[in-house]
Amino acid sequence: MKSQAEECLACSCVEIGSVIDGSECSTPIDQTFAQREQAQQALDALSAKVRKSENEPAQIDVNIVPQGDAFQLVGEVVFSCQAENLIFQMSLR
């Protein structure tokens, strides 16, 4: 007996349950900028994208950390479900 995913692959589709299992609800953030102002602008833009992606309030735990002559955005964004996280990740591309 063929699995449902195999049968769907023949018609160029995949059941969404075989792709999204509900376990990946967070995205790590790690970006470096030359100036603090650039890092703050990136954090503001990131926060706006989170708010557009969320249905339930997401937790943004991202900080600007000085690293020598640079500034690093480091932390993670946690969503209430994997679908919101996926939407957010796609908005970053």
pLDDT tens, N- to C-terminus, the chain (93 residues): 444 455 555 666 656 665 667 789 999 999 999 999 999 999 999 999 999 999 999 999 999 999 999 999 999 999 999 999 999 999 998
Query: Given this model, what pLDDT does residue 19 score?
Result: 64
Hey, how many other C-beta atoms are within 10 angstroms of the C-beta on 56?
Answer: 8
| 3-state SS, residue 7 | helix
Fold of the domain spanning 21-91: Alpha-Beta Plaits (3.30.70)
Q: What is the pTM of this model?
A: 0.76
Query: Given this model, what pLDDT does residue 21 score?
Result: 72
| Contact assessment for residue 33 and residue 68, using Cβ atoms and an 8 Å cutoff | no
| Contact assessment for residue 40 and residue 52, using Cβ atoms and an 8 Å cutoff | no
Query: Given this model, what pLDDT does residue 1 score?
Result: 40
